[in-house]
């Protein structure tokens, strides 16, 4: 009966050694992949930070430009209204010279 226990012990030791060997092989294959992924991750993080910085800069430039655009649109509307008022006044003025003559 002792030989059965000894055989089981040897089998367990062999199985444990096989698990360790498989882990080492797996680690050798996976570590380079993990390193490449970590580098890609760091590269992407730096690119994201650069893009966020550019976006913040662009947003800073958009604010004054947007205000200027709104001011110019308001000025356009005012001038357009004045032109319409003058046109209406000209058409309704009996003393204005007629274009057709």
25-41: average pLDDT: 91
Note the pLDDT tens digit of each residue in 68-86.
889 999 999 999 999 998 8
- Residue 10 pLDDT grade (very low, low, confident, very high; cuts 50, 70, 90): very high
* pTM of the complete model: 0.48
Asked if residue 90 lies in contact with residue 96, where contact means CB atoms within 8 angstroms, the answer is yes
- Residue 59 pLDDT grade (very low, low, confident, very high; cuts 50, 70, 90): confident
56 vs 77, which has greater pLDDT? 77
Note the pLDDT tens digit of each residue in 84-95.
988 888 777 666
Residue 47 CA to residue 42 CA, distance in Å, equals 9
């Amino acid at each position: 009966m002792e030989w059965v226990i000894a055989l089981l012990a040897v089998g367990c030791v062999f199985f444990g050694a096989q698990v360790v060997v498989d882990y080492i092989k797996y680690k050798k294959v996976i570590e380079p992949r993990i390193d490449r992924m970590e580098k890609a991750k760091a590269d992407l993080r730096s690119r994201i930070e650069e893009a966020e910085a550019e976006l913040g800069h662009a947003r800073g430039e958009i604010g004054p430009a947007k205000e200027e655009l709104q001011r110019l649109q308001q000025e356009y509307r005012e001038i357009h209204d004045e032109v319409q008022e003058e046109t209406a006044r000209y058409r309704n003025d009996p003393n204005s010279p007629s274009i057709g003559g």
